[in-house]
C-alpha cells in the first residue's frame, strides 16, 4: 500500500497544510532547544511561562482537531467547552512533567495532521465555529494553526526571530492583523506600511495614523511582540 496523502483537492488548502506542517517543524525544533529546567522560565508572552506556552500549543492542536471532527461528522464539537475551561486546561497542562508536556505537544500535532489528511474534500467547506465565536469553513483551520506554531516558536525565546518567518507568511500575518482589527472595531483609520516592499495594510475609515517600518519590525509591533520607537502600542490582535 502506498503512502497516504491529503484527500483535499483545493490547492489553497494544500498550500496552507504545507505551511502548517513547516511551522510545526519550526516549533518542534525550537522546543527541542529548551532544556527541561528551562521550561520553568518565562516565555516571550507577558505572564506566560514556557510551560504554559507549550501546553497552550498542544491543546490548541487538540481543539482544532475537534473542529475537524465537527466538519467530518456533522456533530457539533466546539474547540473548548468555555473560555474558563480553556484557561484551566492550560493551567493544568503547565504542571505536567517535562516529558509529558513534550509528549502532549508532539502527539497532539501528529493527531491533528492525521485528521486533516483524512478529511474528505467535502468537509473543507463545512462551517465550524472558532473559540472567538466566528463561523468559518474548515479550510480556515490550517491558517489558525499556522499562526500558533510559527509565532509561538519565536515566543519560546530560544533565539528564533520573526525574521525567520517566510516572507509570504509575514505578509499574510500583517493582513490578518488589520482584518482582525476591523472585525473587532479597533484601530479605525490606521494604516501599516511595509517599507521593505511598499505594501500597505489599512483599516476602515479615513486615515488618521500611519505606521511605517521594515516588515519584521512592523510585524513585531502589530502582533504585540515588539515596540517601535515613537509609536504607541498596537491595538490588541488576538
Q: What is the pLDDT of residues 19-59, one digit of tens each?
A: 999 999 999 999 999 999 999 999 999 999 999 999 999 99
Indicate if 145 and 105 belong to the same structural domain: yes
> Is residue 106 in a domain?
yes
Does this model's pTM top 0.75? My answer is: yes
Count other C-beta atoms under 10 Å from residue 166's C-beta.
Answer: 13
Indicate if 110 and 146 belong to the same structural domain: yes
Q: Is the pLDDT of residue 3 over 70?
A: no
Q: Which of 160, 177, 205 is a domain's end point?
A: 160
> Is residue 217 in a domain?
yes
Q: For residue 45, what are the CA distances in angstroms to 80, 87, 155, 203, 222? A: 22, 15, 6, 25, 14
Number of structural domains in the chain: 2
Range of the domain at 209: 167-222
Q: What is the mean pLDDT of residues 133-151?
A: 97
pLDDT for position 129: 97
Q: Which of 160, 194, 211 is a domain's end point?
A: 160
Q: What is the mean pLDDT of residues 166-177?
A: 97
Model confidence band, residue 169 (pLDDT cutoffs 50, 70, 90): very high
71-94 pLDDT per residue, tens = 999 999 999 999 999 999 999 999
Cα separation of the two ends of the chain: 43
Indicate if 37 and 60 belong to the same structural domain: yes
Amino acid at each position: 500500500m502506498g503512502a497516504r496523502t491529503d484527500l483535499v483537492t483545493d490547492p489553497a488548502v494544500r498550500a496552507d497544510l504545507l505551511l502548517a506542517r513547516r511551522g510545526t517543524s519550526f516549533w518542534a525544533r525550537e522546543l527541542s532547544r529548551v532544556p527541561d529546567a528551562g521550561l520553568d522560565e518565562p516565555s516571550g508572552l507577558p505572564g506566560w511561562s514556557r510551560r504554559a506556552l507549550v501546553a497552550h500549543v498542544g491543546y490548541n492542536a487538540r481543539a482544532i482537531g475537534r473542529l475537524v471532527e465537527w466538519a467530518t461528522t456533522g456533530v457539533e464539537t466546539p474547540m473548548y467547552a468555555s473560555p474558563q475551561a480553556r484557561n484551566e486546561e492550560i493551567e493544568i497542562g503547565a504542571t505536567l512533567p517535562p516529558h509529558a508536556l513534550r509528549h502532549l505537544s508532539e502527539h497532539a500535532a501528529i493527531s491533528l495532521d492525521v485528521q486533516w489528511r483524512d478529511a474528505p474534500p467535502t468537509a473543507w467547506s463545512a462551517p465550524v465555529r472558532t473559540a472567538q465565536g466566528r463561523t468559518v469553513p474548515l479550510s480556515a483551520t490550517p491558517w489558525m494553526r499556522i499562526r500558533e506554531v510559527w509565532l509561538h516558536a519565536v515566543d519560546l525565546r530560544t533565539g528564533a526571530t520573526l525574521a525567520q518567518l517566510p516572507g509570504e507568511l509575514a505578509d499574510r500575518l500583517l493582513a490578518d492583523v488589520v482584518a482582525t482589527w476591523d472585525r473587532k472595531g479597533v484601530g479605525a483609520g490606521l494604516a501599516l506600511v511595509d517599507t521593505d516592499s511598499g505594501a500597505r495594510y489599512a483599516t476602515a475609515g479615513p486615515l488618521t495614523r500611519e505606521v511605517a517600518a521594515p516588515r519584521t519590525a512592523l510585524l513585531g509591533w502589530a502582533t504585540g511582540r515588539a515596540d517601535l520607537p515613537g509609536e504607541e502600542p498596537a491595538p490588541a490582535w488576538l
